[in-house]
Structure formats: structure tokens, C-alpha cells
Amino acid sequence: MRKKWIMPAIAAVLMLFSTASAAEKLTLMLDWFPNVDHLPIYVARDRGLFEMAGIDVRIVSPSETADALKLAVSGQVDLAVSYQPQTVIAAAEGMDVIAVGRLIEHPLTTLLFLKGKGIEAPPDLSGKRIGYTVPGLMDVMLHAFASLNGVRDYTSVNVGFAVLQSLAAGRVDAVMGPFKTYETVEMAHRGYDVGYFELEKYGIPDYDELIFVCSRNTLNLKEKAVKGFIRAVDVAIGQVRSNPERAFQEYLKAVPEANPETEADAFRLTLPYFAANQNHDPLRWQAFADFALQYKLIGKPVNGASLLRNFDE
């Protein structure tokens, strides 16, 4: 199994040396607490791919769910794991943000609920209390979902990281934002029978769930380092696909607080969604930006292509 990834990795790593000539520090803020969605990042770090690219990457977690993109835009961190919809919304609000790479290439977000509560179709959420995880993103996505699917007179509640606690305690009837590959597994492992509505099956266009963003100023100042980071992650994703079990064991060492059983099931579901390449699709970004304008997620048009940097072009 080792030979399947060693030779491609060597070739890719040699390419990395040409992108960042001197060691440079980068701080990456995750979108959430560390979980298997971020596994390729830890593989890139712990296999020395960042080091080979001439960069020293510090990985930090946000204290609030909306922090990462804002801190990247302000330059308080160099890079952030964010979401394509959040980036479009931020751009419409005048934030100087640019997407430089991809981690998860299709939607994972759901509207999650406990079964046995009379929720079978979206209109059943009318009049309910619905939580959301990321202010400025998931509350806006909830508005679009509700408009598309006949959900009326609901009350929205910011639950932040407390998805399971809020549902289990009955503080909310559903939550917009949990991933179908993670929170569904976590709740099942804790004995909860959950259902969910997948956004892309209820009128929301396809989009990149998790991306890497930074400010244009950071990109101008640290372009070689950012490029090296993105290419190292791309190599790591290829290695993860080649030997998932080895990569998962390395992740457990890197994130010892992770629950092995829950994360193993989540990883199996997540693996097919890791980005096949690092090239953003301008047409897909524009389609989402146009949808966002139509359903009032944003207040003015956004040029999707202007938010993208593809290093392989």
C-alpha cells in the first residue's frame, strides 16, 4: 500500500519546492472544531508536505462559528477554512475575500431534526423554532430554504456549536448547518434517530462546501506560501484517497480528543467528497451568486470569477 502513494507524492513534493523558496509562517483557522473534514490538512502537516513547501503552518480553531472568514479578511490569520456561500455573502457585503483552494467539493449541509417529532417534509417546520450554526451564513441559508420549500412563521435561533445539545433538550425543533457526514453520525452514536433535508435536493444549487480563503492583501504578500499550502493539501488529499486507513490513524494521533468510532464512520462518509482538484469553477460560483441574489441572500450582484484564484492556470 505504501508504494501507491510514495511515488506520486515524491513527484508532487518536488513541484512544491518551486512554489515557496523560504520557510514562511502561515496561520490557518478552521471553520469548526477539528474533525475528519480537516483530515487532509493534518496529513499534509504531519507527513512534512508543508515543510517541504517551505511553510510552517499553525492550525487554530475558532472561538465562534463565524470567526474564521472575518479573521482572515482582517489579516489576523493568514488563511481560513470557510464555505462558498459565506464567501459570496461576504463579498456582497464588501469584504475583501478571495477563495484560493478547495477541501470539500459538494454540499454537506443539512437541515437536521429528530425523527418522531412530526417532521416529514419541509412545510412541517412551519411555526417551529429552527436553529442555525453559523451567523451570517446558515441563518441566511435557512431563509432561502424556507422560501423555496414553504416553511412559514418559523423562529430562528443561533445555536453555534451546540447542535446536539439544542436538539436533545428541545430548545429547537431542527438545525440548519449540520453536515450529513458528521453530526448525523455523532447523534446516531449517542442514540438519537435523526432525519435531515439535504439542501441540494431542495432547491439550493451545488457548491463547494469547504474552501480555503484569505484576504487579497495576504495573497499579495504571501502568494508563494499560499500556493505552496494549497498544493500540499492537494497532494495530501491524493494520499488520503490512496490509503485511507493509514491517513485516518495519523489523524487520530494528531487529534487525540477525537472519538475513534464516531470519526471512523464520519470519515467513510466524507472521503468521497474531498476535492478532486484545486480548481474553482467560475460558472458554478456564478450560478450560486445569481441564486443568492434572486433569493435575497445578498443585496447586490457578485461577480463569482472575481473571487477566485486558481494557481494551476
Task: Using pLDDT thresholds of 50, 70 and 90, give the confidence band for residue 7.
Answer: very low
In a domain, 113, yes or no: yes
Query: Are 31 and 92 in the same domain?
Result: yes
Residue 12 has pLDDT above 80, yes or no: no
pLDDT for the residue 20: 40
pLDDT for the residue 301: 97
Query: Are 10 and 101 in the same domain?
Result: yes
In a domain, 213, yes or no: yes
State which residues form the domain around 258.
2-106+208-307
pLDDT more than 70, % of the chain: 93
222-256 pLDDT, tens digit per residue, is 999 999 999 999 999 999 999 999 999 999 999 99
Query: Are 100 and 216 in the same domain?
Result: yes
In a domain, 312, yes or no: no
Query: Are 94 and 217 in the same domain?
Result: yes
Averaged pLDDT for residues 267-276: 98
For the purposes of burial, counting CB atoms within 10 Å of the CB of 205, is it exposed (0-12), middle (13-18) or buried (19 or more)?
middle
Domain boundary among 176, 201, 226: 201
In a domain, 313, yes or no: no
Domain boundary among 138, 173, 201: 201
Query: Are 134 and 100 in the same domain?
Result: no
Query: Are 146 and 166 in the same domain?
Result: yes
Task: Using pLDDT thresholds of 50, 70 and 90, give the confidence band for residue 19.
Answer: very low
DSSP 169-234: TTS-SEEEEEETTTHHHHHHHTT--EEEEEGGGTTPPP--SEEEEEEHHHHHHSHHHHHHHHHHHH
Question: From residue 92, how far is each of 1, 158, 182 by CA, in Å?
Answer: 47, 22, 30
Domain boundary among 147, 176, 201: 201
CATH (domain of 129): 3.40.190.10
- Cα separation, 73 vs 113, in Å, equals 33
35-93 pLDDT, tens digit per residue, is 999 999 999 999 999 999 999 999 999 988 778 999 999 999 999 999 999 999 999 99
Q: How many domains does one find in the chain?
A: 2
Dihedral-angle region of residue 160 (phi above 0 means left; psi in -120 to 50 means alpha; beta otherwise): left
The mean predicted confidence, pLDDT, of the chain is 92
